[in-house]
């Protein structure tokens, strides 16, 4: 199964969050994202994602396809229950190794107050100016990212 290695990905991501002293214990782990190396791979994997979840939508973000799937069965991880997964195609000309790329935690406070709790981190605020689905982003070691929106990806 394509998601069989998700726990190893999350173990690494949580290890990075712990080393940065970012506390996500009170936030919902909304979803994880799997990024592929090519449009062809996206097309090949999409039917597998449709077997494990219902496609909520497919949108173009940054010139690439992003599929959002509500899982038929939540993925357990520690105290979390993950209800969705993203399938992400590469941007044009982007070289990517296929694998899990990011996790998103829904925060229940303003972006500014959350950033103020961690002032020494290199926050990427580029997605705060979007019309829809604003979020904070933070690059982690190993090509991973963690993102902090204020609402679930399953909410349009």
CATH number at residue 50: 3.10.180.10
Residue 154 maps to a domain: no
Residue 14 maps to a domain: yes
At which residue do the structure tokens 């899990």 appear? Answer: 100
Report pLDDT digits (tens) over 47-101. Answer: 999 999 999 999 988 889 999 999 999 999 999 999 999 999 998 888 888 999 9
Instruction: Give the angle subtended at the CA of 84 by the CAs of 78 and 86, to the nearest 5°.
Output: 115
pLDDT band at 1 (very low <50, low <70, confident <90, very high): low
- How many domains does the chain fold into? 1
**Mean pLDDT, residues 21-50 taken together:** 96
Query: Residue 74: which domain range?
Result: 6-149
pLDDT band at 143 (very low <50, low <70, confident <90, very high): confident
Tell me the whole-structure pTM to 2 decimals: 0.94
């Amino acid at each position: 199964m394509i998601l069989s290695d998700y726990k190893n990905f999350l173990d690494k991501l949580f290890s990075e969050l712990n080393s940065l002293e970012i506390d996500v214990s009170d936030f919902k782990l909304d979803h994880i994202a799997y990024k592929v190396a090519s449009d062809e791979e996206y097309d090949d994997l999409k039917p597998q994602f449709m077997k494990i979840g219902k496609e909520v939508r497919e949108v173009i973000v940054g010139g690439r396809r992003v599929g959002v799937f509500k899982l038929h069965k939540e993925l357990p991880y520690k105290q979390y229950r993950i209800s969705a997964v993203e399938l992400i195609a590469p941007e044009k000309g982007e070289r990517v190794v296929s694998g899990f790329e990011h996790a998103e935690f829904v925060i229940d406070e303003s972006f500014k107050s959350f950033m103020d709790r961690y002032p020494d981190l290199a926050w990427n605020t580029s997605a705060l100016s979007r019309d829809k689905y604003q979020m904070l982003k933070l690059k982690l070691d190993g090509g991973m990212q963690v993102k902090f929106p204020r609402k679930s990806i399953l909410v349009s």
